């Protein structure tokens, strides 16, 4: 890929679908990303060739109420089902754009979410979430930090529920061999414990599996001819999900490979937890 400089790179906020504000990032090298402030959802990541490597489900709504189904929704402060709504509240709240910069042709934005009466009604703690996204020529990086701004301790679980564009019959994920697996198929309420024995995981049917203590580097072949490397720091777990015929209209076109923190993180007042990921085209 050429590394030609272009003057029209940077960060701008425009009206997206449904009139929702969206932050558009573009590098000097032609790559682009879009992040809706609603849910701090990174909905699009394109390389110079214009191909979107992320996926938005056809049933996604952009109404500022329901979470955006696709891209990279946040699950916070709860991953999956539990006392709160599924995957917590961060994905259905408007985050604010706290900072935006250009570092030598690579845009960096930081989005922020804080507690308010709505979050307090479900989770009675004061917190600050900061989500920093940096777009590079052939990759992007995210850093999520959660700070306890309360006077009492709290705990949470979280994930970045990434939807990748894919052709599911050709998808493979490498790097999970040896991990402890919690397989939610057939009963999500009673996951079956096991160990991943395969070098290469494929998606011949319904898949919903949590891998504990996963590698900090995975390789995803998306079945469309692209290889992506998913690296992380301090995201201890990985979740693989494809709904198969539960979503007949679109299951062939995406796969979710999620960096997750399924065990509870405990934070004392003023403590912070930070986890980073980098997703690169190889
Ligand atoms: O991360 C996998 C998962 O937790 C699945 O169990 C499935 O429920 C999925 O997320 C979809 O969640 P959503 O609420 O976005 O439809």
User: What's the pLDDT band for 128 if we cut at 50, 70, 90?
Assistant: very high
Using an 8 Å Cβ cutoff, are 252 and 169 in contact? yes
Q: In angstroms, rounded to a whole number, what is the distance separating the alpha carbons of residues 243 and 23?
A: 29
If one compares 103 and 54, the residue with the highest pLDDT of the two is: 54
Does 161 qualify as catalytic in the annotation?
A: yes
Helix, coil or strand: residue 193: strand
Q: Report which protein residue has its CA nearest ligand 1's atom 10.
A: 80
Look at residue 177 in the predicted model and tell me its pLDDT.
98
Paired tokens of 265: 């993180």
The average pLDDT across 89-115 equals 96
SS (H, E, C) 19-79: HCEEEEEECCCCCEEEEECECCEEEEEECCCCCECECECCCCCCCCCCCCCECECEEECCC
Q: Report how far residue 259's alpha carbon sits from residue 36's, in angstroms, rounded to the nearest whole number.
A: 20
Give the model's pLDDT for residue 104: 86
- Total residues found in the chain within this entry: 282
> In the predicted model, is pLDDT for residue 1 greater than 80?
no
Q: Which of 61, 87, 243 for a ligand 1 pocket mutation test, highest count of atoms within 8 Å of Cβ?
A: 87
How many angstroms is it from 10 CA to the middle of ligand 1? 33
pTM across the whole model:
0.96
pLDDT score recorded for residue 8: 57
Give the mean pLDDT of 142-170: 98
Return the ligand 1 atom nearest residue 73 CA: 15
Using the structure block, give the residue that is written with the tokens 């997750």.
260
> What atom of ligand 1 comes closest to residue 159's alpha carbon?
1
Atom of ligand 1 nearest to the CA of 243: 7
User: Residues 79-106: what's their mean pLDDT?
Assistant: 95
pLDDT number for residue 165: 98
Q: In testing the pocket of ligand 1, which one of 72, 86, 188 has its CB within 8 Å of the most ligand atoms?
A: 86
Site residues for ligand 1, CB cut-off 6 Å: 69, 80, 86-87, 161, 184, 188, 208, 239, 241, 256, 258
- Dist CA 65 CA 251 (whole Å): 24
Least-confidence region, from 62-66, 103-107, 192-196, 254-258? 103-107
Q: For residue 153, is pLDDT > 70?
A: yes
The sign of the CA dihedral 184, 227, 236, 177 is positive
Closest Cα to atom 16 of ligand 1: 69
CA angle 164, 74, 221 (to 5 degrees): 20
- pLDDT-derived band at 124 (thresholds 50, 70, 90) equals very high
> What three-state secondary structure class fits 201?
strand
The torsion angles phi and psi of 24, rounded to 5 degrees, stand at -105, 130
- Candidate list 161, 197, 221, 244, residue with the active-site label: 161
**Region 97-122 average pLDDT:** 96
Residue 218, helix vs strand vs coil: strand
How far does the chain reach from its first CA to its final CA, in angstroms? 11
Q: Per-residue DSSP letters for 117-180?
A: HHHHHHS---EEEEEEEEE-SSEEEEEEEEEE-SSS-EEEEEEE--EEE--GGG-EEES-TT-E
**67, 68, 80, 90, best to mutate for ligand 1 pocket (most atoms within 8 Å of CB):** 80
Report whether pLDDT(70) > 50. yes
Structure tokens at 273: 């937890």
Phi, psi of 92 (to 5 degrees): -125, 40
Give nearest CA residue, ligand 1 atom 2.
241
What whole-number percentage of the chain has pLDDT above 90? 94
Is CATH 2.70.98.10 the classification given to domain 10-281? Answer: yes
Atom number of ligand 1 nearest to Cα 87: 14
What ranges do the domains of the chain cover? 10-281
pLDDT over threshold 70, residue 4: no
Q: What is the pLDDT of residue 9?
A: 78
Compute, in angstroms, the gap from residue 161 CA to the centroid of ligand 1.
8
- The pLDDT assigned to 2 comes to 38
pLDDT digits (tens, 9 = 90+) for 253-273: 999 999 999 999 999 999 999
HSE (CB half, 13 Å, CA atoms) of 63? 5
């Amino acid at each position: 890929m050429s590394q030609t400089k272009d003057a029209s790179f940077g960060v701008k906020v425009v009206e997206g679908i449904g009139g929702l504000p969206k932050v558009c990032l573009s590098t000097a090298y032609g790559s682009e990303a879009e992040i809706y402030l609603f849910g701090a959802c990174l909905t699009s990541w394109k390389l110079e060739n214009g191909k979107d490597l992320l996926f938005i489900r056809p049933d996604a709504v952009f109404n500022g109420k329901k979470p955006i189904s696709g891209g990279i929704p946040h699950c916070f402060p709860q991953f999956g089902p539990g006392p709160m709504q599924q995957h917590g509240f961060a994905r259905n709240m408007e985050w604010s754009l706290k900072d935006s910069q250009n570092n030598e042709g690579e845009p960096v934005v930081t989005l922020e979410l804080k507690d308010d009466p709505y979050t307090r009604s479900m989770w009675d703690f004061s917190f600050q979430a900061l989500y920093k996204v940096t777009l590079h020529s052939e990759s992007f990086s995210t850093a999520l930090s959660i700070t306890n701004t309360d006077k009492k301790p709290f705990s949470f679980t979280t994930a970045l529920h990434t939807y990748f564009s894919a052709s599911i019959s050709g998808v493979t994920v490498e790097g999970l061999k040896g991990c402890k697996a919690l397989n939610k198929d057939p009963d999500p309420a009673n996951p079956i414990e096991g160990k991943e024995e395969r070098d290469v995981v494929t998606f011949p049917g319904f898949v919903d599996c949590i891998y504990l203590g996963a590698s900090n580097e995975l390789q995803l072949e998306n079945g469309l001819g692209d290889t992506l490397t998913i690296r992380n720091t301090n995201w201890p777990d990985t979740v693989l999900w494809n709904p198969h015929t539960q979503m007949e209209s679109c299951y062939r076109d995406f796969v979710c490979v999620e960096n997750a923190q399924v065990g509870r993180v405990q934070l004392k007042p003023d403590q912070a937890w930070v986890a980073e990921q980098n997703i690169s085209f190889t």
